[in-house]
Structure 1
Amino acid sequence: MYEKFLKQITDFIFIDQEPQKADIIFIPGNGFPNPSERAAELYREEFAKKLLPSGHYSVVLGHFAGVLQKQELYQGKFETEWEFLQQVLVQNGVDKKDILKEDNATYTYENAIYSKKVTDKEGMEVKKAILCCMPYHARRALLYYQLLYPETEFFVCPAKESPITAENWYLSKEGIETVLGEVERCGSQFHEILNEIKKEVRS
């Protein structure tokens, strides 16, 4: 029974799909280089020609939290998550002209909202998109981006390197708190959204 319980949570939170040719690669804001490294790899393999990292900084902290891994590789003063993510992409072979800019979002839902504004402004029709994030952030990020791009087919391709994975999250206090925190946020953060959707359906 315990194993089934763990599998249900793991299957819900962690999504890892095979990439397909897409119109764009989305990268929700964060301080980890890993998702952008994965995005750059997919770009080099020509799965998409445009990338859109998104992020100002955490609404909770009020400033960019700093580089959370591989600080020796990605040095510099970054005012926003977007500046940091752009640098990671460039250092990993992405042409600057192929990187779109969104540096206002302060949390995941805003990453999706403001990214939609950018692609709309660019006149992009996003039929297929790749989403690169940390593995444990996959479900919540997908829910938000799918909400803003309801007609888009998404392929979730999370970072290959992560201290918290589908295989080990339940073996450490940090992993348990992180993953169950994602489960909680998938519920709590959608209360207002679903209520707004209900109002629109009734009106």
Structure 2
Amino acid sequence: MDFLSFREEVTKYIFAEDMLQKADIILIPGNAYPQNAERAAALYRQGYAPYILPSGKYSTLVGHFAGVCEKADRYNKEYKTEWEFLKDVLVQNGVDESAILKEDQATFTWENAKNSRIVTDQNKLVIQKAILCCRNVHARRSLMYYQKSFPEAKIFVSPSVIGNITKENWYTTKDGIDAVNAELSRILYQFSLLV
């Protein structure tokens, strides 16, 4: 395999993305960026799914919701959890509150996925197809966790670009290479914890 082919394989693997189909739910792992929830709201308004489930309390590394990372001028309330923040983004972008489910205890991605499954089960939702709105560079790892939690469902990834790292340019900067390297390492290590 030559260098270009290797780079293309890494890109295709890390930056998971699918052609979307209508689904039973849109899932959003916790974060402090509005882009994933904005994308989910757009998909909801287009009729891709009747429910959205944002998930998240806050990072265990910080111990509280550390604040909105982008567009804080628009999303400027006092949020206690990632879920509160993501819900506000969804509502401000045209999602009916009745369509938003609640998971506000997860503190890392694996908990986002596991707890989301608990919420859908408690609501007696049968999830055969789901759309996962997540950060582009975090797409493969998010997908791994959500597939583990929803093994019977087909999950379609609809990623958002957050920051400047894209599938087209990640290999051109140290930050991009470091981000992809970190994801590869986390995927390999965390996969071993799931089996």
CA distance, structure 2, for counterparts of residue 17 and residue 161 of structure 1:
18
Listed one character per residue, the Cα deviations across residues 181-201 of structure 1 (whole Å, up to 9, x for unaligned) are: 11100011122221xxxxxxx
SS in 2 for 1:129: strand
Are the counterparts in 2 of residues 53 and 82 from structure 1 also a CA contact under 8 Å? yes
Aligned to 2:48: 47
Aligned to 1:128: 129
Higher mean C-alpha displacement, 174-183 vs 83-92: 174-183
Unaligned runs of 5+ in 1: 195-203
Listed one character per residue, the Cα deviations across residues 59-111 of structure 1 (whole Å, up to 9, x for unaligned) are: 12212232111112111111110011001101100011110000000000000
CA distance, structure 1, for counterparts of residue 183 and residue 123 of structure 2:
32
Unaligned runs of 5+ in 2: none
Equivalent residues in 2 for 1:1-203 (5 A)?
1-159=2-160, 162-194=163-195
Aligned residues: CA RMSD: 1.1
Are the counterparts in 2 of residues 37 and 159 from structure 1 also a CA contact under 8 Å? no
CA distance, structure 2, for counterparts of residue 115 and residue 90 of structure 1:
19
CA distance, structure 2, for counterparts of residue 167 and residue 112 of structure 1:
28
Listed one character per residue, the Cα deviations across residues 156-196 of structure 1 (whole Å, up to 9, x for unaligned) are: 111256521101111222212111111100011122221xx
2:9 partner amino acid = Q
Aligned to 1:198: none
SS in 2 for 1:143: helix
CA distance, structure 1, for counterparts of residue 148 and residue 68 of structure 2:
29
Listed one character per residue, the Cα deviations across residues 122-179 of structure 1 (whole Å, up to 9, x for unaligned) are: 0000011000001111100011000011110111111256521101111222212111
CA distance, structure 1, for counterparts of residue 62 and residue 3 of structure 2:
36
CA distance, structure 1, for counterparts of residue 194 and residue 50 of structure 2:
32
Higher mean C-alpha displacement, 62-71 vs 16-25: 62-71
SS in 2 for 1:142: helix
CA distance, structure 1, for counterparts of residue 47 and residue 175 of structure 2:
35
SS in 1 for 2:98: helix
Are the counterparts in 2 of residues 37 and 92 from structure 1 also a CA contact under 8 Å? yes
1:189 partner amino acid = Q
2:184 partner amino acid = V
CA distance, structure 1, for counterparts of residue 61 and residue 11 of structure 2:
27
